[in-house]
């Protein structure tokens, strides 16, 4: 019985593509990564998300082998690779500027990795053609990279990195050089290619929308630390701390103090005395009555309600400004307690009925729409 459990465990361990264990990176006195530990599953689309300078690119370069770790271990499918040089790692990278070899044709670019690996010529050609087909650039095989558009260069970079069948594909902000429309189209395409190729993608971006739309799981990073790891839903709906709440999407952060806690529910008081029921993460064990922190409410979770609605979680205030955004209208509301919150309503119908600047409004927080963050 015990043995069987162990077997299950080891087979689960083989489902891990990349494991980082207390990875630390220091440049002189400056610490770029503080003992980062992450587990990335096989065939997962995993995103490292954070503002510039948060260490996400450094982490990617450590996995690729371009940077050494100061301390800690990196495992690829269970094998320690921290001391393996980049050209010995079965990991390929799509670079931010693509870095296609300018003197080689598209086909030669894609063949490069296969040739360096010593793949027999016939087999390499076949593989390269298949990659061109995957990214739908068959007719561009003999062009030079400079003769392609940005989006096409991006696809060649992807095909080139996928051709040698890496165990993990690393993507360093590959969409940032494209214009908005193309970027949006490429998001869906990238995800499709990842599913078709059936390999692990580790994707670095500072664009939260990109991260939310493509990723199976996201690690939000800041200042060399991983702030939270979770699915798009986890990260948006249940941010672990103020940084994540603020960085991902828009949020209203209101100072509050815990009155009492029952499991994952807390009653909080705003500075003006208004009481709000909020949810809290089960592992926030340090939160009890008296803890000070912030309430996080997404703008779309606030709903305009009839004045004097007797239900709980109602805030009152005055509309300061109405901002028309096309699909939505945003209201800036100054609460009775003095804080300013953003409210978002969809422009599905009768937006003429929206309160204008100066009118008093009651705001109901939708069930599950407010979380208490102690950090």
Partner 1 sequence: MSSVGERIKSYPGFGVLAAVCLVLLYAPLLIVMIYSFNESPSITRWGGFSLTWYVDVFTGSESSKFKVAAWNSISIALMATIGATTIATAAAIGMTRSGYWRGKSLSFALINLPIMVPEIVTAVATLIFFSAIGFKTGYLSILLAHIVFCIPFAYLPIAARLQGISSSYEEAAIDLYASRWQAFRYVLLPILLPGVVSGALLAFIVSLDDFLITNFVKGAGVETLPTAIFGAVKQGIKPNIMAISTLMLLVSVLFVTVSWWIGRVGDKSSVVASK
- Contact footprint for partner 1 (CB under 8 A): 64-66, 85-88, 91-93, 95, 97-103, 112-113, 116-117, 144-146, 153, 160-161, 164
Residue 89 or 261: the one with the smaller Cβ distance to partner 1 is 89
Query: Using an 8 Å Cβ cutoff, are 78 and 16 in contact?
Result: yes
Strand 200-205 to 45-49 pairing: parallel
- Smallest gap from Cβ 91 to partner 1, in A, equals 8
Q: How far is the CB of 28 from partner 1 (least distance, A)?
A: 11
Quick check: 290 and 258 in contact, CB under 8 A?
yes
Backbone angles phi, psi at 243, to 5 degrees: -60, -50
How many other C-beta atoms are found inside a 10 Å radius of the C-beta of residue 329?
16
96 vs 231, which CB is nearer to partner 1? 96
Smallest distance, partner 1 to C-beta of residue 281, A = 39
CB of 85 to partner 1, least distance (A): 8
- Find the shortest distance in angstroms from Cβ 61 to partner 1: 9
Residue 172 C-beta: closest distance to partner 1, Å = 9
In the β-sheet with 16-27, what is the strand arrangement from edge to edge?
A: 30-41, 16-27, 71-76, 79-80
Q: How far apart are CA 283 and CA 274, in angstroms?
A: 26
Min dist CB 231 to partner 1, Å, is 29
Q: Which residues contact 191 (CB under 8 A, 6 or more apart)?
A: 45, 213, 214
Closest CB to partner 1 among residues 75, 95 = 95
Specify the residue, 109 or 251, whose C-beta has the smaller distance to partner 1.
109
61's CB contacts (< 8 A; 6+ apart) are 67
> In Å, what is the CA distance from 118 to each residue of 81, 89, 331?
22, 15, 62
Alpha-carbon span 16 to 266, nearest angstrom: 36
Q: Which is nearer to partner 1, 32 or 91 (CB)?
A: 91
Euclidean distance between CA atoms 251 and 267, whole angstroms: 20
- Find, among 337, 333, 338, the residue nearest to 359 by Cα: 333
Task: Give me the least distance between CB of 99 and partner 1, in Å please.
Answer: 4
For partner 1, the closer CB: 200 or 313 = 200
d(CA 69, CA 47): 20
Residue ranges in 198-317 assigned as alpha helix (H) = 208-214, 232-237, 242-247
91 CB neighbour count, 10 Å cutoff: 24
Query: Nearest distance from residue 41's CB to partner 1, in Å?
Result: 23
- For CA atoms 309, 315, 321, 323, give the dihedral sign: negative
Cβ closest to partner 1, residue 117 vs residue 126: 117
Closest CB to partner 1 among residues 16, 104: 104
Q: Which secondary structure element, helix H or strand E, spans residue 26, and what is its range?
A: strand 16-27
Q: Toward partner 1, which CB reaches closer, 22 or 88? A: 88
Task: For the CB of residue 187, give the shortest distance to partner 1 in the complex, in Å.
Answer: 23
Q: Of the two residues 14 and 97, which places its CB atom closer to partner 1 in the complex?
A: 97
The token pair at 44 is 């997962």
């Amino acid at each position: 019985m015990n043995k069987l459990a162990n077997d299950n465990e080891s087979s689960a361990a083989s489902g891990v593509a990349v494991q980082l264990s207390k990875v630390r990176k220091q440049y002189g006195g400056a610490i770029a990564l503080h003992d980062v530990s992450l587990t990335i599953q096989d065939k997962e689309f995993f995103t490292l998300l954070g503002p510039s300078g948060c260490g996400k690119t450094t982490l990617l370069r450590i996995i690729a082998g371009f940077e050494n770790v100061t301390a800690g271990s990196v495992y690829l499918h269970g094998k320690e690779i921290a001391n393996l040089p980049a050209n010995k790692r079965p990991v390929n990278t799509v670079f931010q500027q693509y870095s296609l070899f300018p003197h080689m044709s598209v086909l030669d670019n894609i063949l490069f990795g296969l040739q360096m690996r010593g793949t027999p010529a016939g087999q390499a050609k076949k593989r390269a053609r298949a990659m061109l087909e995957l990214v739908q650039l068959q007719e561009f095989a003999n062009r030079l990279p400079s003769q392609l558009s940005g989006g096409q260069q991006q696809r060649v970079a992807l095909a080139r990195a996928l051709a040698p069948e890496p165990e993990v594909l690393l993507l360093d902000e590959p969409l940032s050089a494209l214009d908005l429309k193309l970027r949006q189209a490429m998001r869906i395409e990238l995800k499709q290619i990842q599913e078709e190729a059936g390999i692990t993608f580790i994707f670095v971006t500072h664009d939260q929308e990109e991260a939310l739309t493509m990723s199976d799981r996201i690690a939000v990073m800041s200042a060399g630390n991983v702030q939270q790891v979770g699915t798009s839903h986890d990260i948006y709906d249940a941010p672990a701390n103020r940084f994540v709440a603020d960085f991902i999407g828009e949020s209203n952060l209101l100072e509050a103090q815990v009155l009492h806690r029952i499991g994952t529910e807390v009653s909080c008081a705003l500075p003006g005395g208004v009481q709000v029921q909020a949810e809290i993460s089960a592992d926030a064990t340090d939160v009890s009555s008296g803890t000070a922190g912030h309430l996080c409410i997404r703008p779309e979770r606030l709903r305009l309600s009839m004045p004097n609605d007797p239900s709980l979680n109602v805030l009152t205030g005055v509309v300061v400004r109405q901002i028309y955004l096309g699909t939505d209208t945003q209201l800036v509301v100054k609460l009775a307690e003095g804080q300013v919150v953003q409210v978002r309503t969809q422009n599905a119908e009768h937006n003429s009925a929206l309160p204008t600047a100066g009118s008093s409004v009651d705001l109901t927080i939708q069930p599950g729409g407010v979380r208490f963050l102690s950090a």
